[in-house]
Structure 1
């Protein structure tokens, strides 16, 4: 019944043309309690975001940046903290002279050395060691502990009188760091003479002895040797070529000795005895500079590279020859098992190739040499052993038959490690290499510190873990120690500290966590946050803006009513 009445009323309303239209009613006004509740909800959300969410986000996403001494690092890189100097202590022994003559010879020779020296960073300091008073002072200092660390003795010069000698002459011992100066008795220094000929001769000999080392150090410090006016172009080119051929310094090198032959013989070699006899003494001398590991291998039926031209038989020389321009393609890297690097250090490859009897003897055409160096890689030696009665290669290579090859490998190793070519004394050349390596490592570690400082300043978003700060601190400490030892002529200690500084500097610069953040720019972070914060942030911001508008409107209405 009620439904029928409702339908009738609706029909009547439609039939009545003058019936008034229904008016949309406004929502009832919000009560103060509802407004207060909405305010508390919005305030609660924002309070959680500001006082709980934001601190948690800040803590969990903040980047830890340990403190680095940026200014100190930059000063090391710019060369303001340490300028490498090389004061070489040379002991002067004059057993055939009286003490006044010896002291006068020392003074005049030192004066002549200072006049000849044009490279202030590298200077020679003479010290008279047969002076009894000086020796007593040194002994008292050692006993009291005031001179616990002495400078390295670079050279010992013995000045000896020799009859029937027209002019002074010198003799450098090849196996030691001793230089003998022989002079005629009538050229003994007189205390009244200001520039004795013997002093000039000794100064010139010492200057010539260390001339290549000075040029090399000048090249290391400045990148060129042009600051030495009297250097010859040939020596400058020789030093540049030596740097191009030598390996970059490493704390440990891996030496790989390989025997290759195109046939089935020789199939064995007395390699262990050869290494101990011919190479181990040299490696022991290098112990203060670098460490070495060794492995060996034998490869039979090792053919030439398909890209390499075959040897050509020269009837005039009765030998098979390889042209010099074809030596670079001699090694068959595709089939010969030559690993470019084993372990942490770089690998130096030394190949002993025994040609087949049908291509023996095998030499280089241009200079008839049987060996050559592959720059920054290793060396090759062509061994042409005497053939057996049946015109075949011997099945075994003895230690004596390996001697020429390993003597050549020793020379190639010295070249590849950047050892100076002069003087003739190997200990003096290794001493020079110690000083060169100490200088290069000090500059390399300092440059790495500068690069790290500039990197951290230009990229404030990358983290700096505590391990990096510790490595930087150790680097700067060892750099300072190396510089101090170098200034006092203790080059072995300087090299030891410089090696540690280089290792720590590389470790800090190539920290994995830092390198990863370098390739994660801020645009990536925005792309990650926007999809997450957009749906949540928009309603909260809109609600906050509406609530702020309501509060502002309420305040204005109260002021109007009050007025």
Structure 2
């Protein structure tokens, strides 16, 4: 049927069918029922409730890092030197048995005034005290004065020196005598120079003050060097003394509560194959080790190594006809020890090892000395010492098969001197007990500064790395360290130096234990970026649908809220 223009269109025409088909294709789905909407909301809410109230707390509890509380500011103050400024008041007893009480009191007062005028380092000062103890028992020998820690827990200051002032006929000027192996100084004066109460600056007072300044000059310069970190600070310190202190501190070992001494006999041939080492140690070394007991303990091991040849890198000894000896150049001494083939253990146990090598040259290269100074021994800084023993040859021009105790005397006397140097013992004064007392005070200062510095390093470490854990034992060690640092400072202030060293030793050990706690170090290698890389592949596929569903529900709720608000 043909439809002409102007005729009405019938509802049964093909155009009407097309329009109806288009309407059917774009028809929207029927709206969700309220029950379906509520079900979807409850499902999404249940997932998020499980995540928030169960999953997140479990994750937080299992992945959280325990960080015990540390007194950060107090630790930093110790490191910066704001909490404690060490002082060293040395109590010296003065005995004047033949002087009247007013004269002795005046001598003490004027000597103290002269000492105060000469002192240029306020942290180290000498305090004189008049005493009536004038017996010879006041002089303490090495064995009695250093075998045990004296006055460790007492409340009285340590008496570092006893000065006896005695008249002597025939003297023109005063003289002093420091008794060997004691802590007693005898000062002899002419009877005509008895200090009168009317004189303000008697010569005897000046002499005693100058002698005391001389006795403790090296100690004062050493402590000033340690506390200030430099050799300057004392105008009276000579350049030679400054260089000597710096060299001694460079050569000495770091302080340890226990040292291991290893004595080794090396020879390039088959003899000597034995030595009286036990008798030599007992005779020449044990008294010194006993004297060191207030400072450190020692263990000893020995060995004999035959056919111990030089290293191929070591220049061979050269025969010097003028010296009639085989010589080693000083610059070649550093390569003398054949560390690749000689069985030398660098450390035994927890403490550092000091190696002492007794080398017996081959008869064809004996005697052997150092070319520059004809010395037969030298020190390897912070390691040990070497002694070249040239024993008398047998009739067949061979070395003796056995080294007796007497033949080892020179070697072990040298080893004793080398041990004192390696442990940082000062070279003055001549009395060993006084030098050991100085070493106690120096070690106390060193440990105090070391433990304080470790506390500061630990504080900066925990603040710069918030992801590392801080176990409870670290907090306990820090508390113990700070407590013993305070005790050390108090003991130093009161002149109890043995007790100060004991407290400083505990503080150093606890500080090292807290800083090198192994459970803290492991977390440093598990940074936050690593955590993100682990979690994203696991949580990404799960989190995206949950987040999208949550956003749709929030959008729907907002639309409903706006519709209700518009209808109202």
TM class, shorter-length: over 0.9
Which stretch shifts more, 54-63 or 325-334? 54-63
Partner in structure 1 of residue 69 of structure 2:
67
Counterpart CA distance in 1 for 2:550 and 2:300 is 74
Gaps of 5+ in 2: 1-13, 135-152
Question: Cα offset for 1:28?
Answer: 2.5
Partner in structure 2 of residue 81 of structure 1:
83
After TM superposition, the structure 1 = structure 2 runs for residues 134-213 of structure 1, keeping only pairs within 5 Å, are: 149-213=155-219
Do structure 1's residue 117 and structure 2's residue 123 form an aligned pair? no
Do structure 1's residue 337 and structure 2's residue 337 form an aligned pair? no
Partner in structure 2 of residue 397 of structure 1:
403
Q: 1:447 aligns with which of 450, 453, 456?
A: 453
Question: Cα offset for 1:432?
Answer: 0.3
Question: Cα offset for 1:346?
Answer: 1.2
Do structure 1's residue 36 and structure 2's residue 33 form an aligned pair? no
Q: Is the 8 A contact 1:94 1:102 kept in 2?
A: yes
After TM superposition, the structure 1 = structure 2 runs for residues 268-417 of structure 1, keeping only pairs within 5 Å, are: 268-417=274-423
Which stretch shifts more, 384-393 or 551-560? 551-560
RMSD after superposition: 1.5
Q: 1:223 aligns with which of 229, 243, 263?
A: 229
Partner in structure 2 of residue 92 of structure 1:
94
Question: Cα offset for 1:225?
Answer: 2.3
Alignment CA distance shift 1:148-1:394 (3 Å): closer
Question: Cα offset for 1:98?
Answer: 1.6
Do structure 1's residue 551 and structure 2's residue 542 form an aligned pair? no
3-state SS of paired residue (1:401): helix
Counterpart CA distance in 1 for 2:238 and 2:92 is 26
Gaps of 5+ in 1: 1-15, 133-146
3-state SS of paired residue (1:327): helix
Question: Cα offset for 1:66?
Answer: 0.9
Q: Is the 8 A contact 1:174 1:424 kept in 2?
A: yes
3-state SS of paired residue (1:446): helix
Q: Is the 8 A contact 1:101 1:189 kept in 2?
A: yes
3-state SS of paired residue (2:424): coil
Question: Cα offset for 1:559?
Answer: 2.5
Counterpart CA distance in 2 for 1:190 and 1:378 is 54
Counterpart CA distance in 1 for 2:245 and 2:232 is 12
3-state SS of paired residue (2:293): helix
Partner in structure 2 of residue 142 of structure 1:
none
Question: Cα offset for 1:18?
Answer: 9.3
Question: Cα offset for 1:148?
Answer: 5.2
Q: 2:490 aligns with which of 484, 491, 498?
A: 484
Q: TM-score, normalised by structure 1?
A: 0.93
Number of equivalent positions: 533
Partner in structure 2 of residue 127 of structure 1:
129
Counterpart CA distance in 1 for 2:363 and 2:529 is 68
Question: Cα offset for 1:97?
Answer: 1.4
Question: Cα offset for 1:17?
Answer: 11
Q: 2:437 aligns with which of 431, 434, 450?
A: 431
Question: Cα offset for 1:59?
Answer: 1.3
Do structure 1's residue 473 and structure 2's residue 473 form an aligned pair? no
Partner in structure 2 of residue 135 of structure 1:
none
Q: 2:245 aligns with which of 239, 242, 254?
A: 239
Counterpart CA distance in 2 for 1:558 and 1:19 is 40
Q: Is the 8 A contact 1:99 1:131 kept in 2?
A: no
3-state SS of paired residue (1:402): helix
Counterpart CA distance in 2 for 1:148 and 1:348 is 34
